[in-house]
Structure 1
Amino acid sequence: MIIISITKYVSWGLHLKPSKSRARIAVALCTTFPCLAFADSASLELPTSVIQGQEQTQEAGSYTQATASSVSKTETLIKDEAQSVNVVTQQTLDDFQVRSLDDAMKFVSGVSQANTLGNTKDAFIKRGFGTNDDGSTLRDGIRSVVGHNLNATTDHVEVLKGPASLLYGAMDPGGMINVISKQPQFTRQTTITGSAFSEGGGTTGVDTTGGVGDTGFAYRLIAERSHEDYWRNYGTDEHTLVAPSLSWTGERASVSLAYVNNDYSSPFDRGTVFVNGKPANISYKDRLDERWAKTVGISETATAKFEYQLSDSWKTRLVYGWNNDRYSLAIAQPAAAGSNLAAGTLRRQANGGHYDYETRYTALDFIGDQMLFGQRHELLVGVDNEAQDRYRGKTYRNTSTAAGNLDINNPVYGNLAEPSTVSATQSNAKNQLTSTSLYLKDNWHLNDQWILVFGGRQQHYDQYATQGFANTLLRDSNGDQFIPFAGVVYQPTEAWSLYANYSRSFVPNTDTDDQGNTFDPEEGVSREVGAKFAPSDALNVNLAVFDIVKKNVVTTTTLANGNTSSEAAGKVGSRGIELDVTGRLAPNWDVIGTYAYTHTEILDDPKNEGNRLNNAPMHTASLYVSHHLTVFPEASGQWHVGGGGRYVGKRAGDNENSFWMDSYTVADAFLRWDLPVSDYKTRLQLNVDNLFDKHYYPSNTGSGQLQVNEGEPRTARLTASVTF
């Protein structure tokens, strides 16, 4: 059966251009027969062909990757998709010792930091849009409510630009970020890692994987313990992560199970204040809150996936995903009433709460690769169900008094008591959003040069929300939404791929106005054209031009008493250009270069029409280069050096554009030595971030000049690892 299937794919591939055939055959074989590498001894020669085919699409240790799963829910050549996709590879993450998703996004055009809620959540502006709770961060294709999603289990990160609602439902039109996890491998390998942080403390971890005899089972266990001093004048970042996973591969079926448990504690840091539109002239490292201002919690994720090869052309996949984040936070909330920043006085109010956020997701997909009337169709037909539950239990709102005043020029801590007054109206807040959808996507290869991409999603959703100990009903509504997608790809040569698309997006609004009325869902319309150029297998150049309009936008403002007020901002727009260059320029030289021009504008709003959107820079750019040194004798090991910087243009501090955060440029560098130690892969690496110790302000809460995030100053990390 294996020989017949391979022969069919090879015969089918002969209808394509030679190099296209090799790459597509490899993708088809790996997707259809993941068990080849682990079959009985009679088939041990087969995996060699599959591995060689994969090398056509991705070079080991590269900054670029030719396939991604985020666009079609299965590994597909990026050049065949009518959308813009970026991949931050494992090599990029390793070289620059990326420790957060925010840090990873400096390698992707058009993505910058949004309100991180005191550095406790992943939060991104993508093509001008995004918040910390917009649902655009996924883990292995499943929407995540976890605060920080990049950790020791991360293999690589995929970024899909523009609307992703076709396959992922309610989603902001700027794009989505999909964190892909490491999988069990049948080759036995263990890596032990330890690092020391310049601010104090460090991290230790182990990653072990391997097969279980001839059973078809493979395991992986990743564990990490980190305890590092916070870079400001007090606080610690710490976590304990344990992540076991197990897979089984048979002749036609495969099963995988994965679980991650992360016990964490981190400072809740609102940053600094601006005075008359400029950063206050105070110590960059002195916090303006209290030692008890932190977040403590446990996050968990679990996924189960079953795949079965129905025939040579079709397979089915059943996926279940669950993630949960239970945490408590305490805030020394800056308050406008009672503050006199010109005199150096900041009024603060003790707030806090207990949170329980959860997502449950189930999807059944049928994936086909059909030849109909001499034309190839890459088909995806599926149905999914998703439930998002957000619960805030006891919510603390202490009274704002002069006892909370802080002299920002000479802060004295301990005068503001921890939050203890329970708010009867703000507590016991339940927000539930459930949806069920049917979706279809077809990559229709008209011939060797033209691909028509189209699809649609029919989604039904229900919203239910109550708040307060009296269970006051805020919303009980439902709706139906159809989301179309249409695109075309033209490939005049092997190296070039030109595309255009039209798509829509929607997001049910979870906010209500002051009278408790639910806002209409946000709806977005996007148009995009672009070009993808691959002069070699190791280098990719992507260019995209886009225009997005979104209506029914709601803005939320934090009031002086710590409560929030929401109002509709009407219609907003974003248009721009993005350029990404990733891969190998020459032997021993790798590069990542990005540029984005993003013009955002509030198009229809009585107060802010014509203004720029909060936190959205007009210009961003980055350039990173790494080099394999050849000046040392081979016997001394391999040496790698790299570095570069990112530029972020000035950003509006709020939608009123009442103040602006200045542009900034931050540089990073690394030096790695791969030691020649017997049969062990031993590595010693030094990374320095913010090389020139730049003071910069990457984002704010949008609530005025009292809460502006500060960027990390110069820090260093020394990492040692051994793999055997």
Structure 2
Amino acid sequence: MDYIISYGVKIILSQSLYRMNMSYQNSGSFREFVGKEDVFLAPVLKWAIGPKTQATFELEYNHQHSGLDAAFVPFINGKLLNMPRGRNYAEYSPSTTEAVLGSFNWSHQFNDDWSIKHRFTVNHQTNDLSLTAASGVDDNGNVTRYQFGSNFKLNTYSTNLDLIGHFDTAGLKHTLLFGGDYYRIDKHEIGLLNLVDAISFANNESLIDLNNPVHPGSPFPGRLQPSFLENIQTDLYGLYIQDQIKLPYGFQVMGGIRYQYLHQKALNQGLGLLASPPDYTTQTDDAVTPRVGFLWQPQSWISLYANYVESFGANTGKLLTNRPVPSTSAEQYEGGIKTEFFGGRLRATLAYFDLTKNNVATPHPNLAFAKAGYSVITGAARSRGPELDITGEILPGWNVIATYANLDTKVLQTNDNSNGQTPMIGSRFFNAPRNTGSIWSTYEILDGDFKGIKIGGGATFRDGQIGCCDTPSYKIPGYATVDLLAAYSLDVGKTKITAQLNINNLLDKHYFAGIFTQKDNRNGGVDFGQPRTFMGAINVQY
């Protein structure tokens, strides 16, 4: 049983509004040595300085302590080993994260047509982890395991300033946006490895029996010690302008352009047994990216639209080569139709898109490396297909959300330095199911003796998925799950108390949600699907 407690306080003072959001979550897991405790605090102060000027101050604090899961399931004769889904070949792997975010934004309305908005955000995050992960099976039927950790600090600063204006030219209504932004990302990490020598990682392994694992297995011969240092500083500068024009007969057009400049410098150095001189690298890049759009609304309840967008920016993550991840770019075409029913209460969107991304950073196919923040780069990948979204209220108290997507993904280009750790050209992108969909519906009694009772349920389905980098690729089957919800809300004075129970995976379907494999390595990992789970929550608002 998992449980969540959330608490919200809203106080209205003269010319100001104060709100405090708090939550606490403590969840175990069906997996050995895995769990999470989470504390979240978020005060917000909104100040109406004047009738046309307002400011908002926000602070968020999050403390999370968890046991990480580097899932590992060996492939036997090309198939995943049939094993209890709770079995963990690793050991308890603690991770502690603290994050503090502060933001300040203000806006001023010069008149009915012109306004200015400014936002500044700073985010400080630290993470300490020690991870034990399985790496394969030796000839004696023992699972080989290795150990690493990290001390991680991340500071992010961002600011943007927007000027928004409304005006007419030749009977055409314009909404003009002009602005600029700046992002600064400072990352500092000390990587820890369990080493006794720098020649062979095999000399640094621990063993545990494949069929009858007895923890903690054989002891590691060494200890975790600082092994590498990585400092990366990223600066992003952007300027943009956009104009949206309202034309006669329900037509609207939009056009914009953005210039972005990226500068990144990195320091990498081996420590301890892997000691090496400091290695300094820099990369600089820039791009001009357009965006255009078209909308036609012949009636109030229906709209047809099309757009084309290009993007450019910095990638996140890190490479095993201890180099910054190169910048990424993308272009997307999209068109569709939006409709409304029942006076706007129910909305539906049917769209088709075609997205191509270059230098696609994805988690490393080795799940242990992925948990440590390592990425691999695919030169170019394409995703395209139709999407359907339906959301809204069918009858008073009866709400529904339904989604469906049919995605055709394909790898268009690989990188020469990928060392076989990216998918083959022409293959589907790994962990990208062709068909996905979900439906969720709730009904709440709005009046009478049973007012406040809510019930709901839904289903989710996903097609099968392939792993990375193998020929032929290993696969996991598709799955469908059913979830239920029951809740009761009670007003006590100005306080609203809600108790809720969720049952996830009602039918206790045994499934895998994702797969991780490596080239020439028949040992891989999977994301285990959550078994039947009961989760209770209490929410208090006043």
- The 5 A counterparts of 1:464-475 are 464-469=265-270, 472-473=278-279, 475=281
Q: What's the CA shift for 1:566?
A: 7.6
Would the aligned equivalents of 2:190 and 2:226 in 1 still touch at CA under 8 Å?
Answer: no
Q: What's the CA shift for 1:421?
A: 3.5
Alignment root-mean-square deviation, CA: 2.9
Q: What's the CA shift for 1:324?
A: 2.2
Higher relative contact order by CA 8 Å / sep ≥ 6: 1 or 2?
Answer: 1
Q: Whole-Å Cα distance in 1 between the matches of residues 208 and 510 of structure 2? A: 22
Deviations 1:561-594 (A, max 9, x none): 9699987643321111100011112343221111
1:643 equivalenced with 2:460 (yes/no): no
Q: Which amino acid aligns with 1:455?
A: G
% identity of equivalent residues: 25
Q: Which amino acid aligns with 1:207?
A: G
Aligned in 2, Cα 1:516/1:225: closer, same or farther, shift over 3 Å?
A: closer
Determine which of 195, 215, 226 is the counterpart of 1:413.
215
Q: What's the CA shift for 1:328?
A: 0.8
Would the aligned equivalents of 1:627 and 1:640 in 2 still touch at CA under 8 Å?
Answer: yes
Aligned in 2, Cα 1:290/1:225: closer, same or farther, shift over 3 Å?
A: same
Q: Whole-Å Cα distance in 2 between the matches of residues 712 and 207 of structure 1? A: 29
Q: Whole-Å Cα distance in 2 between the matches of residues 723 and 510 of structure 1? A: 37
The equivalent residue for 2:499 is 684
The equivalent residue for 2:356 is 549
Q: Whole-Å Cα distance in 2 between the matches of residues 339 and 673 of structure 1? A: 54
Would the aligned equivalents of 1:557 and 1:702 in 2 still touch at CA under 8 Å?
Answer: no
Deviations 1:668-709 (A, max 9, x none): 111123347677534332211111111222124454642211
Aligned in 2, Cα 1:271/1:252: closer, same or farther, shift over 3 Å?
A: same
The equivalent residue for 1:604 is 413
Q: What's the CA shift for 1:416?
A: 5.5
- The 5 A counterparts of 1:224-373 are 224-249=23-48, 250-276=50-76, 277-291=78-92, 293-336=93-136, 339=138, 345-373=142-170
Deviations 1:241-297 (A, max 9, x none): 222221101222111111111111011102231424433221111222112x02112
Q: What's the CA shift for 1:347?
A: 0.8
Q: Whole-Å Cα distance in 2 between the matches of residues 263 and 354 of structure 1? A: 16
Aligned in 2, Cα 1:564/1:531: closer, same or farther, shift over 3 Å?
A: closer
Q: Whole-Å Cα distance in 1 between the matches of residues 216 and 119 of structure 2? A: 50
Deviations 1:626-670 (A, max 9, x none): 12359xx92243322110111011111114362112111111111
Which structure shows the bigger proportion of residues in helix conformation?
1
Aligned in 2, Cα 1:394/1:272: closer, same or farther, shift over 3 Å?
A: closer
Would the aligned equivalents of 2:346 and 2:393 in 1 still touch at CA under 8 Å?
Answer: yes
Q: What's the CA shift for 1:435?
A: 1.0
SS of residue matched to 1:699:
strand
Would the aligned equivalents of 2:54 and 2:107 in 1 still touch at CA under 8 Å?
Answer: yes
Q: Whole-Å Cα distance in 2 between the matches of residues 395 and 675 of structure 1? A: 51
Aligned in 2, Cα 1:626/1:467: closer, same or farther, shift over 3 Å?
A: same
The equivalent residue for 1:714 is 532
Aligned in 2, Cα 1:702/1:435: closer, same or farther, shift over 3 Å?
A: farther
Q: Whole-Å Cα distance in 1 between the matches of residues 111 and 177 of structure 2? A: 15
Q: What's the CA shift for 1:551?
A: 3.2
Deviations 1:362-388 (A, max 9, x none): 111112222333222222111111011
Aligned in 2, Cα 1:702/1:388: closer, same or farther, shift over 3 Å?
A: farther
Deviations 1:518-555 (A, max 9, x none): 77633322111111111231111011111122334467
1:491 equivalenced with 2:271 (yes/no): no
SS of residue matched to 1:707:
strand
1:404 equivalenced with 2:218 (yes/no): no
Determine which of 445, 453, 456 is the counterpart of 2:254.
453
Which structure shows the bigger proportion of residues in strand conformation?
2
The equivalent residue for 2:273 is none
Aligned in 2, Cα 1:636/1:525: closer, same or farther, shift over 3 Å?
A: closer
- The 5 A counterparts of 1:69-108 are none
| Unpaired runs of at least 5, structure 1 | 1-197
The equivalent residue for 2:198 is none
1:669 equivalenced with 2:484 (yes/no): yes
SS of residue matched to 1:491:
strand
Q: What's the CA shift for 1:208?
A: 0.7
- The 5 A counterparts of 1:151-190 are none
Would the aligned equivalents of 1:539 and 1:585 in 2 still touch at CA under 8 Å?
Answer: yes
- The 5 A counterparts of 1:626-637 are 626-628=442-444, 634-637=448-451
Determine which of 324, 339, 347 is the counterpart of 1:540.
347
Q: Whole-Å Cα distance in 2 between the matches of residues 365 and 333 of structure 1? A: 47
Q: Whole-Å Cα distance in 2 between the matches of residues 406 and 522 of structure 1? A: 41
Deviations 1:487-532 (A, max 9, x none): 1111111111111111112234578988878776333221111111
1:660 equivalenced with 2:460 (yes/no): no
Would the aligned equivalents of 1:283 and 1:409 in 2 still touch at CA under 8 Å?
Answer: no
With normalisation by structure 1, the TM-score equals 0.66
The equivalent residue for 1:588 is 397
Would the aligned equivalents of 1:396 and 1:422 in 2 still touch at CA under 8 Å?
Answer: yes
